[in-house]
Structure 1
């Protein structure tokens, strides 16, 4: 019962702390969800993303310039 009292007195008793805790929770949830989705997307599209293809594309342009000379 003491845990419930502590939570109530620290978060729910005052409206300002309740609203602040909701905003903080929403912000942390958003950061966590963004990180999880980004990692999932990167893992799922490995080899197809610009970060993976950029060295190959730049190497192709360098070879094309050498062929032109």
Structure 2
């Protein structure tokens, strides 16, 4: 625990950068998870699934 404090939380600027980096990676991971969930729930109803039926 002391190592984490010394690396990330000792200086306010380093703490802020660590939070911003964590938020960025959390957001990207959550976005990928949400898209995957949406696409699996709506499989067969999305344009990429039915495009061949309407294009000649």
TM range (shorter): over 0.9
Higher relative contact order (CA 8 A, sep 6+): 2
Larger Rg: 1
Query: What RMSD, in angstroms, separates the aligned Cα atoms of the two structures?
Result: 0.6
Per the normalisation by structure 1, the TM-score is 0.78
Q: What is the count of residue pairs matched by the alignment?
A: 56
Instruction: Show structure 1 runs of 5+ residues with no match.
Output: 63-69
Per the normalisation by structure 2, the TM-score is 0.96
Instruction: Show structure 2 runs of 5+ residues with no match.
Output: none
Task: Name whichever structure is richer in helix by fraction.
Answer: 1
